[in-house]
Amino acid sequence: MPDNSNIDVAIRIQEKFEFYFLSLTFIILGLSIQTSKFGVHAISDGLELLGWVSLFVSGMAGLSRMRWAPFLYKVKEAIIRRECDRDDAKCRELNGQKRVIRGEEEISIGDFIADASQAVKEVEDQLSKLETKNNLKDLLHVYGFTLGLLFLMGSRGYEPAVRIVGCLFK
């Protein structure tokens, strides 16, 4: 069995990053809500609200992603288990075994291999759909966070920028 210590380290780092990033999203949202000041400029007020919405959507996408992560691992494990059963049956077929017992019945090993292959395909299709949704949530988390920060920067920087431009053109 090959040493997977590098993979284990990579997984731990990725998990820590995801927790940190999710926490950071909600921390920035909370701090921006707590320190906001409205009523000076309509543009900065609008940008502030857009920042809040972007950060909230980003955080919720991240939470949903984290919630579904264990299920993805369970589905991947189901694929591996079915592939092992299929491959084991193929080895037995090569060794001359003609029939296997599945549950209460005895069936041909060829039928068992076909059923196992079909089961792998079905679970892989399920995993593909889940991974597509998970990837969309990841994009929403990252880009929602980025947009939220940009909106907040615009909101908090609007008034100073207007003053600077006003001073330059007096």
Residue 65 has pLDDT above 90, yes or no: yes
Residue 143 has pLDDT above 80, yes or no: yes
Strand (E) or helix (H) holding 99: strand 99-102
The predicted pLDDT at position 83 comes to 93
Mean pLDDT calculated for residue range 8-21: 93
The predicted pLDDT at position 106 comes to 87
The CA–CA distances, whole Å, from 76 to 5, 116, 120 equal 20, 15, 10
The predicted pLDDT at position 127 comes to 93
Mean pLDDT calculated for residue range 159-164: 91
Residue 125 has pLDDT above 60, yes or no: yes
Structure tokens at 138: 């990841």
Task: Give, to the nearest 10 degrees, the angle between helix 5-34 and helix 42-94.
Answer: 160
Q: Percent of the chain beyond pLDDT 90? A: 74
- In this prediction, residue 9 has a pLDDT band, given cuts at 50, 70 and 90, of very high
Q: What is the pTM of this model?
A: 0.81
For 135, other C-beta atoms within 10 Å of its C-beta total 11
Residue 10 amino acid letter: A
